[in-house]
Chains A and B, each alone.
Chain A
């Protein structure tokens, strides 16, 4: 119980609680950005020296390209979101730059010479991503506008999720149907964009419904059990993610969407029971689907016994299932990297083959930078997520809070699903490591995600306008007879 009773007279207020005017921190961001551009340039030179004994000829243009992207991003933030978080942009730039270096390094590998050069395309995708970030910051003046499009985003997200299943449009690449073909442009992974649309939908929906979901419940064994009809939404999302799993055979996307919903539900209602339900339901769903879906079974097999998969693949066993040696090779890459790594350009992670620069790019980091490097990379991701959660804490409106937590939660889940898969902690799923892995959709969508987070954090950190002096305050003093 509080000590001072402040309800009955305005003059009895003892203190006001207000945000300290946070400085805009744009110069900090600029300094960090310079640092974040210098590190990949250093890495680029390092790879060139290790592979060809010479500083690579593209060093200047590469450095300028990355610097230009960072500079444009910085100027847009400075102009349109001056109070935004100072760390997100440098962190994302560094990850993107390191990803570019490692993709370029894998391009140089003779073993992978029959694959197309990926680094120039990735640089192009990064430029498109930063352009989308700029578009988000320029045209999205207030994130609360998104709230109006709650149900449109739901429809959009479902459409994006269904697109890969449309005959003639979808492309089945290595067993997972998560791509669509755009004639003349290549392939696109709509799931990456659906992630953002779904976060908008969940935030708008939960903001309205959270009271019903949080309050109407019975207590049972220390858990709040929701009423049967309140289980509706989580069941619907669960069914949809199961359908994704069955029809697109993509464990990662499925896990990402369900996990994001559970995280946002938990944050919106503050009820631990939702987490318990979520874990139970995802376990039931995953086990259930894995019992009849061969693609998922292979992934689980490769996770439980990667060595066996490796041997089956080497022996060329034809039993109708695609055996992959990659899971084992990724583990070997981590192993041969040791604590400090073999040095950039000096590993053999290119043995992994076709997905070395996308799904398995973390294995290259593991081999060439070692445990120390992978820890630093994971910390960089952790810092981005921390800034996202911090933004959610600082945001003043519930929609912004939920959106920020949803986006950073989805980002974190994605990193976990990929990194955990490559390291053999969970079954491997076909997802891309945000910013680092080769893949246009992923890079572009994640830059847009950072753009929205920057917009929310700008709103959250903007100093509140000074409260207008209230001339009536003196007049309405309650004079209490004593």
Chain B
């Protein structure tokens, strides 16, 4: 057997061996499955919509307010866009969301400018989401104006509490 053939085979074998290692590592890379975070709220909401459609008579009027009139525009989640909790989302399902430094708040604000029970966000009878300041020291701002009365929230309007900004999104 010629020297050249053997050299080619020797290097070829090493190359093939390393190719296997590389392919194996690629398999590992494509195998990173880990965990998936799903929005439970949205999944439930979807399930509910299916249910409602099936029964032709939506029983959860409270959660699915005002039928189809503004169903498409109804916010489904609350998103923290600024502050230490940036990225946190809370699904909106007709429940009242309380904000403040108190430990039993839905969103516990770690913010020196927030009061322990600072504000709450709740749907009114029509399903319109309302933000109400609960007599906080430093106030709650919707867009630029400080809240004095419960105020309806427009989609995407920033609500500012201290350094935290939240908004409602679809």
Contact = CB atoms under 8 A, between A and B. Distances in A.
Most central of A15, A344, A376 by chain B CB within 10 Å: A15
Contact of B6 (A3, A343, A469): A343
Nearest to B98: A482
B91 A14 contact: yes
Interface stretch (B27-35, B64-72, B136-144): B27-35
Contacts of B11: 340
Interface string A86-129: 11001100100000000000000000000000000000000000
Contacts, number: 152
Interface residues of A, number: 57
A3 B108 contact: yes
A346 interface: yes
A425 interface: no
A369 interface: yes
Contacts of A14: 39-41, 88-91
Contact of B122 (A46, A344, A376, A482): A482
A13 B45 CA distance: 13
Contacts of B24: 32, 87, 90-91, 380, 383
Interface residues on B, range: 35 or more
B95 to A, nearest CB: 5
Given A12-B106, A340-B11, A49 B1 contact: yes
Given A17-B36, A480-B96, A482-B122, A372 B6 contact: no
B107 interface: yes
Given A14-B39, A91-B24, A383-B28, A5 B104 contact: yes
A1 B38 CA distance: 21
Interface string B9-25: 11111101110110111
A343 B108 contact: no
Main secondary structure of the interface of B (DSSP, over half): mixed
A296 B153 CA distance: 80
Contacts of B28: 87, 383, 386-387
Contacts of A344: 9-10, 13
Interface string A70-93: 000000000000000011001100
Contacts of A387: 28
A382 to B, nearest CB: 9
Contact of B23 (A19, A35, A346, A379): A35
Contact of A22 (B1, B31, B47): B31
Given A4-B106, A12-B106, A20 B33 contact: yes
Given A5-B106, A16-B37, A20-B34, 14 more contacts: A3-B80, A3-B84, A11-B93, A14-B41, A16-B38, A19-B34, A25-B31, A39-B13, A87-B24, A87-B28, A340-B11, A344-B10, A346-B10, A477-B95
Interface of B: 1, 5-7, 9-14, 16-18, 20-21, 23-25, 27-28, 31, 33-41, 43, 47, 80, 84-85, 88-91, 93-98, 103-110, 120, 122
